[in-house]
Each structure stands twice: as C-alpha cells, then as structure tokens.
Structure 1
Amino acid sequence: MTQDLRAQMIALLPRLRSFARGLSGQHALADDLVQITVEKALRHLDSFDPGSRLDSWLFRILRNSFIDHVRARRETTSLDADDALPLIGTDGREVTETRLHLADVRRAMDRLPEDQRIVLMLVCVEGLRYREVAEALDLPQGTVMSRLSRARLALAQLLQDVDSPASSSAGTA
C-alpha cells in the first residue's frame, strides 16, 4: 500500500510543480515547495485516508506550505534563470508575443486575491472539479464556485484593461 502511494506521488510531481509555480511565480521556490510537500506527505503518510484523493491531499499540503512561506518571508522577489533561456530555432516574434501575453496573464493573476487565485489555479490549470477543490481547500463547494466566478471576471477585466487602447497608448505619447 505504501509503495503504491509513493508511486502515485511521483506521478503527481509535475502537477504539484505546476501548481506551486502558479502560486509562487518562481521556479526555484516552486521546486522547494514541492519538496517540502513531499517530505511532509511522506512523514505523515499514516494520516492519509485511503478512501480520499491523493492529489487533493497533496495540493492542500502544498497550499499550506506556501502560506507558511509567505508568512515567514513576506515580500521577496527573485529572478528565475529559466525565464532567460535562449530561443534557438523558433519564430522570435511569435514567441515574444506569447511571452508578453503570458506575462500579462501572470501579472493579472498576481493581482487577484489569494483565495481566488488558488481556486482559479486548481480548477483551470490543474483541472480539478469543484468538489475536489472544495475538499482540498476544506471549503463548501458553493464558496469554490463563487470564488472561481469572481476570479474569472476579475481576470478578464484586468486583461481587458491591459489590452485597451487607452492603456497601450499611454506609454507612446
């Protein structure tokens, strides 16, 4: 049983890293959070309920670890070396436009309240169902749906503000 859970954890590592990257915005911190999550999960494997979802349990541990990190460190910024990788053999214009749009989305998501950003990440990026997110975050399903709705509306508004002619012409005067 324990070996099976460990194999499932290994299979979930990419999803955990993606979620951690979305929460933290930093590759190195995301890797640290995943490591902390796995360590805590292995240390407390006996508290995992075999009838529940392993991914929800791990997402909850990761989220709590991120909150602990934020409380301990407050505002710190770091540059990711992965963001500066060379672009060889690709259409530079398309890649640049895609990266600019992705940067706009990341900045907009960073402006969302944390409770909305977490729900948005779990539903839209990780593909969890509302019920699964509610279980992972220990929230009522209606709260998850409400936060997700507000997050989507706020994100759309923030991205619309970025794309509006007034905001793009403000820097070209």
Structure 2
Amino acid sequence: MARLIEPLIPALRRYARALLRDRGAADDLVQDGLERAIGRWHQRRHDGDARSWLFSIVHNLAVNRMRQSTRRGPHLPLDAAAEAATGLPPTQEQGLRHRDLLRALESLPEEQRSVVLLVSVEDLSYAEVAETLKIPLGTVMSRLSRGRERLRQAMEGAEAAGMPHPQSHLRRVK
C-alpha cells in the first residue's frame, strides 16, 4: 500500500493546492484524503488504478470543503491577516502574468478547472481524468477545450488591459 501511495503524494499536494489556493488547507486535505484511502484500502477495486482512486478521494473531499466554505464564508487566520495587510503586489511582469493566470484559473467553473488541472498540471490522461471525476470521456474533452479557451481569452484580456502589445495596430493622427 505504501509503495503505491507514497510516490503520489507530491502530485496530490499540487492538485489540492491548485483547487483550494491555500497551502495549509491543501496539506490538510491531502492528509484527510490519505487517511480515508488507508482506512478504506480494502474497498478499493484491485483492478483499478490507485492513482485515479486517490485523486478521486482528494477531489471529492475538496468539493465538499468548497461547498462548506461557501456556506460558512471566508476564514482568515489572525497570523495571516498581518501579512496580507503589509504585503505588496508584485511589480515584475512575470509575477503579474502569474497572478493573471491564477485569477483566470479561479474564474473557471469548478468542473472546467478540475479537468484543466488534472490534464495540464498533473499529466493525467483523458481516460484517467474521466475515471477520477466519474464523467464520460467526451465530457472531459469538452470541458478541457472550453476551459483552455476561457483561459486564453482571459489572458488576452489581461494583456489588453495593461500596456499595448508590441504588435498593436496604431492609427496615425495628423
């Protein structure tokens, strides 16, 4: 069991962090997911993929937590409040693009965001994503296509809102 689970922990942590956007909550989520997997190891399909099964557990726990936090409202620990009040936004272009990408990713519907993260970040195959999320393969491809397109449009919109692109077409006024 440990031989199958241990190599997957970094990928589970990345996925949880991308879903929850909070390092501490993501680590708690992965720990809860691993506890659930270990406690229910006997319920796992032996012909199934342990990777997909673990991602399913973490995904379902994340969805439950997001629903719960929506009902309860945001939580800000006291020690994080001081950092948030004194932090400065990044001034480098790369930092701004990264921020824009994270915002665009956050703006995606949860269904599209999950598929984009599992395929693009965690490198799961379409079939593995379909099994993990318990959706048809065609739905995975559709959500991925729509999610990528929305990300592309959001990033182009962010660039348009900033400085003019070097290839912009300017009109000469006389």
Which bracket does the TM-score occupy, shorter chain normalised? Answer: 0.7 to 0.9
Matched, 1:21 2:24: no
Matched, 1:102 2:89: no
- RMSD in angstroms over aligned alpha carbons? 2.0
- Alpha-carbon displacement from aligned partner over 1:80-112 (angstroms, at most 9, x marks no partner): 97xx8xxxxxxx98xx43322211111000000
How many residues align structurally? 152
Q: Which residue of 2 aligns with 1:168?
A: 162
Q: Which residue of 2 aligns with 1:76?
A: 74
Q: Which residue of 2 aligns with 1:151?
A: 147
What residue identity is the alignment partner of 2:108?
L
Distance apart, 1:51 and its partner CA: 1.4
- 1:25-36 equivalence runs, <5 A: 25-36=21-32
- Alpha-carbon displacement from aligned partner over 1:8-33 (angstroms, at most 9, x marks no partner): 21111000000001101111111011
Change (3 A) 1:31 1:131: same
- Alpha-carbon displacement from aligned partner over 1:102-137 (angstroms, at most 9, x marks no partner): 111110000000000000000000000100100011
User: Would the aligned equivalents of 1:26 and 1:78 in 2 still touch at CA under 8 Å?
Assistant: no
- 1:23-62 equivalence runs, <5 A: 23-62=19-58
Distance apart, 1:71 and its partner CA: 1.8
Sequence identity percentage: 39
What residue identity is the alignment partner of 1:13?
I
What residue identity is the alignment partner of 1:168?
G
CA distance in 2: counterparts of 1:70 and 1:152, whole angstroms: 22
Q: Which residue of 2 aligns with 1:66?
A: 62
- Alpha-carbon displacement from aligned partner over 1:125-164 (angstroms, at most 9, x marks no partner): 0000100100011110000000000000000000110011
CA distance in 2: counterparts of 1:103 and 1:154, whole angstroms: 16
Matched, 1:118 2:114: yes
What residue identity is the alignment partner of 1:159?
M
Answer 1 or 2: which has greater helix percent: 1
Change (3 A) 1:8 1:99: farther
SS in 2 for 1:107: helix
Q: Which moved more, 1:49-58 or 1:29-38?
A: 49-58
Q: Which runs of 5+ in 2 are unaligned?
A: 84-89, 164-174
Distance apart, 1:76 and its partner CA: 1.5
